[in-house]
Structure 1
Amino acid sequence: MRTLGLLGGMSAESTAIYYRELNRLVRERLGGLHSADLLLWSVDFAGIAELQAQGRWDETGRILADGARRLQDAGARAILLCTNTMHLNAPAIAAAIEVPFLHIGDATAAALKARGVKRPLLLATRFTMEQAFYRDRLAAAGLDCLIPGEADRGRLHAIIYDELCQGVVSPASKARALEMVARARAEGADGVILGCTEVGMLLAHDDLDVPAVDTSLVHCEAAVDFALG
């Protein structure tokens, strides 16, 4: 089994999901007492979030590239960044290491295409919804992403940072997110990307009447494929 290096803490809530799911998948595939061979470098998210808000992405890139190098030097055979938004820094991270960087966008695109989705609604942080780094990667795979309107983007961003990242799951916020999905369905969305690693805490496949891809889960599946391949 290859050792996976996890860059986490953004947020701690979603990194816990990664740890749980990676171990669950390995146990399901190998049976018995098997679990994933993991290394974790977890940052203090408060400092990262402040840099995000200030648009200081070069600095976040340096921090995460340093973490990735530490994981590689400790024996990681691939790097997994346990957050969608910080894949804005994927080029800086990949350039800093010699081992593979397993991109969440690639796992997401493959899962959407396998489900026959062509026009997914992207539910994520403002940074992921509004900047090109994520949508362009999906577009290169033939996917035409929709995003919520301005007011909904602001509300969803607040739900993520003020609630989900702090472990709060609100029925009112879930209802608001489902309203966003309904509006997108009326505009032709044929699927949903749970495109922040915390959004899967709020919505599940059973809540939706179209295919949904939880990016955290498909990212974990791709990582276990690598680890056991």
Structure 2
Amino acid sequence: MKKIGILGGISLASTIHYYKTITDLYYEKYHDYYYPEILINSLNFQYFTDLENQRKTEEYQSYILEGLENLKKAGADFVIMAANSPHSVLDNIIDEIPLPIISIVESVAKEAKQKGLKKVLLTGILYTMQGDFYQKGFSKYDIDVVVPNDDEKQVIENIIFGELVINKVSNKSRQQFLDIINRYDVDGVILGCTELPQLIGQQDTNKLLLNSLRIHCQTTLDCALDDK
């Protein structure tokens, strides 16, 4: 099996759920404990978020590359970034990344294409919803990506940073989020923040949910086990 390198800490909750989901998916398939080895480099979440919010792109990219290099030094065979937002600069740094990397955007886009989706709503942190990296990634598969309006974006941002990143979930926030996604005539909804699956699951809505964390974890596990 290949050794997985996870660039984590962005956030605490996301990293925990990545580790748990990868190992849970393995057990669901094999019912044994020969889990793939996993290395985690946990970044400074506040520093990382400050670089995002202040649009310090050069420092942001350097910090990501430093973390990925650390995973290579530790012995990872390939890497993933356990968040959606750092994929905004993936195209800029892809040639400098020291190991093969699995993109969350590409993984989710392939899943959406397989399900026959044509138009999806992107939800996530402000940085992700204000960017265009999901739109670019999905355009290769002829899938349109739309985003909530500015007020709705702020509601989602507040839910994520006020609650989900510290593993807090409230019924009020769940209903607010459901009210937002139900306003849009789309084939599916991208949970484009890896904390959002804590808030709602498929059982909560008739909208088809694309759980970016679970999809990314499944692609990661498949890569780790491709010679098992």
TM range (shorter): over 0.9
Residue type of the alignment partner of 1:80: I
TM-score normalised by L of structure 2: 0.95
Q: Tell me what 1:104 maps to.
A: 104
Q: Identity of aligned pairs, percent?
A: 29
Q: Tell me what 1:29 maps to.
A: 29
Q: Distance in 2 between matches of 1:218 and 1:6?
A: 15
CA deviation vs aligned residue, 1:110-163 (integer Å, no higher than 9, x gap): 111222211111111111111112221112221101111110011111111111
Q: Distance in 1 between matches of 2:53 and 2:137?
A: 23
Residue type of the alignment partner of 1:224: L
Q: Tell me what 2:203 maps to.
A: 206
Show the 5 A alignment for 1:10-29. Answer: 10-29=10-29
Verify the 8 A CA contact 1:115 1:211 in the aligned structure 2: no
Residue type of the alignment partner of 2:89: N
Verify the 8 A CA contact 1:117 1:211 in the aligned structure 2: no
Show the 5 A alignment for 1:1-229. Answer: 1-184=1-184, 188-229=185-226
TM-score normalised by L of structure 1: 0.94
Residue type of the alignment partner of 1:13: A
Q: Distance in 2 between matches of 1:19 and 1:99?
A: 20
CA deviation vs aligned residue, 1:52-108 (integer Å, no higher than 9, x gap): 221112211101101101111221111110000111132354322342110000110
Q: Distance in 1 between matches of 2:206 and 2:107?
A: 22
Q: Distance in 2 between matches of 1:23 and 1:97?
A: 25
Q: Which piece of structure 1 moves more, 203-212 or 214-223?
A: 203-212
Residue type of the alignment partner of 1:105: V
Q: Which piece of structure 1 moves more, 133-142 or 38-47?
A: 133-142
Deviation at 1:203, TM superposition (A): 1.1
Q: Distance in 2 between matches of 1:64 and 1:51?
A: 11
Q: Distance in 1 between matches of 2:98 and 2:63?
A: 17
How well do the aligned residues superpose, as a CA RMSD in angstroms? 1.3
Residue type of the alignment partner of 2:32: G
SS in 2 for 1:117: coil
Deviation at 1:212, TM superposition (A): 1.0
Deviation at 1:36, TM superposition (A): 2.4
CA deviation vs aligned residue, 1:26-60 (integer Å, no higher than 9, x gap): 22333322212111000120111112221112211
SS in 2 for 1:145: strand
Q: Distance in 1 between matches of 2:24 and 2:221?
A: 10
SS in 1 for 2:145: coil
SS in 1 for 2:200: coil
Verify the 8 A CA contact 2:182 2:207 in the aligned structure 1: no
SS in 1 for 2:100: coil
Structure 1, unaligned runs of 5 or more: none
Structure 2, unaligned runs of 5 or more: none
Residue type of the alignment partner of 1:140: K
Verify the 8 A CA contact 1:62 1:92 in the aligned structure 2: no
Verify the 8 A CA contact 2:68 2:98 in the aligned structure 1: no
Q: Distance in 1 between matches of 2:82 and 2:93?
A: 13
Q: Distance in 2 between matches of 1:58 and 1:65?
A: 11
SS in 1 for 2:168: coil
